[in-house]
Amino acid sequence: MSDTFFSAAPHWAWFIILYFFVGGIAGGASLLAAVADWFGGPEDRPVVRTGYNVAAVGAILSGALLTIDLGRPLRFWHMLFQSANFPTIMFKGWSPISFGAWGLLLFGLFSVLAALGGMAEEGRLSNPALRAVGGAVRGGLAKLVGGVAGLLGVFIAGYTGILLAVTNRPVWADSPWLGALFIASGMSTGAAALILLAPRRGATEQSLARLSAFDTRALVVELLVLVLFLASLGSVNRVWVGFWGLVLLVGVVGLGILAPLRLHMQRRPLASAAKLVLLGGFLLRLATIFVSEGIEHYRVTAGM
């Protein structure tokens, strides 16, 4: 038996699952927007602007979800500053939850700036203050801000998996692949979110087809990493015998990866494949969190 079975569950449930899902989408969308911003053409601007918007809304939502999940939400700032020595910074580079808190704050800052820049570009900002900020984020500065938001985005998509690995919990700490898996899932769900949302802002067929082609590749990578993740678990895989194994097999692999891959191959409408990718991304977080949360150490010891 893995030594991880003697630890206790941290009660990370729905808020955390939603955060992992939303953070993954926001991070993936942010990186794709940044890549399109730096290397794409003028016809990619709707995708760029949508990507930064998804990133900004996702970052704000992520912060809110993490805060309300705390046992003492008003003390959320204790993760950023030393409560007894404010404003001395609180930071532990070896603790994913600590560098994640800072990463999310910075991701929120840069993605909001990038989103404001995009909205100013479209002339959608009526508030003078926001228009002034958005107007300042243009040209080279806009690319720089977007690039930083993109890099922070891929960090946000992946550090959550590292956070789970840097514990002593079953499944999470038994594999080094969760971070890689969450990045692949974040990129595929980020692309899916853009496929669904970018048309409203005038995305071209060409842009959407490219996103779809990327999504296909991201799903293949995700499937490969999922196989590596399960292979690395070894005997711990017995935890999947049950409901969460079914969710992983049918929901994540079947509906979330293989079905959209098939739709992409058949060149079916992009939206239905994108919706399935989002469903799969959510179920991946759901299954990986709850399969471990359900293991109670004292019951394991008692052989129950």
Partner 1 sequence: MPEPMGFFTDTTVCIGCKACEVACKEWNQLPAENGGVGELSGDSYDNTRKLDGIHWRHVRFIEQFKAPYDGRWLMMSDVCKHCVQAGCLEVCPTGAIIRTDFDTVVIQSDVCNGCRACIAACPFGVIDVNPVSGTAQKCTLCYDRLKVGLEPACSKACPTDSIQFGSIAELRTRAHKRVDQLKAQGVKAELYGADPDGALGGLNSFYLLIDEPEVYGLPRHPQLPSRNLTKSATFSAASAAVLGVLALVGLRKRRMDEQSRGGGGAGNV
Residues 130-189 that bind partner 1 (CB under 8 A): 154, 158-159, 161-163, 165-169, 172-173, 176-184, 187
Which residue among 11, 128, 129, 200 contacts partner 1 (CB under 8 A)?
11
Among 126, 140, 200, 298, binds partner 1 (CB under 8 A): 298
- Residue 130 CB, nearest approach to partner 1 (Å): 29
36-65 residues near partner 1, rule: CB under 8 A: 36, 39-41
Q: Which residue has the tokens 């991304």?
A: 281
For partner 1, the closer of residues 145 and 181 by Cβ is 181
Window 14-33: contact mask with partner 1 (x via CB under 8 A) = -----------------xx-
- Minimum Å gap between C-beta 210 and partner 1 is 5
The answer to whether 28 and 194 are in contact (CB under 8 A) is no
Site for partner 1 in 198-257 (CB under 8 A): 206, 210, 213-214, 217-218, 221, 225
User: Which value, to the nearest 10 degrees, does the dihedral of the CA atoms of residues 173, 76, 100, 180 take?
Assistant: 50
CA distances from 223 to 106, 133, 231 (A): 30, 41, 12
Could you give the angle at the alpha carbon of 10 between the alpha carbons of 5 and 16, nearest 5°?
125
Q: State the nearest-atom distance from the C-beta of 127 to partner 1, in Å.
A: 33
DSSP secondary structure letters along 173-192: GG-S-HHHHHHHHHHHHHHH
* Residue 257, both tokens: 């990866």
Subset of 87-126 contacting partner 1 (CB under 8 A): 90, 92, 94-98, 101
Coil vs helix vs strand at 85: coil
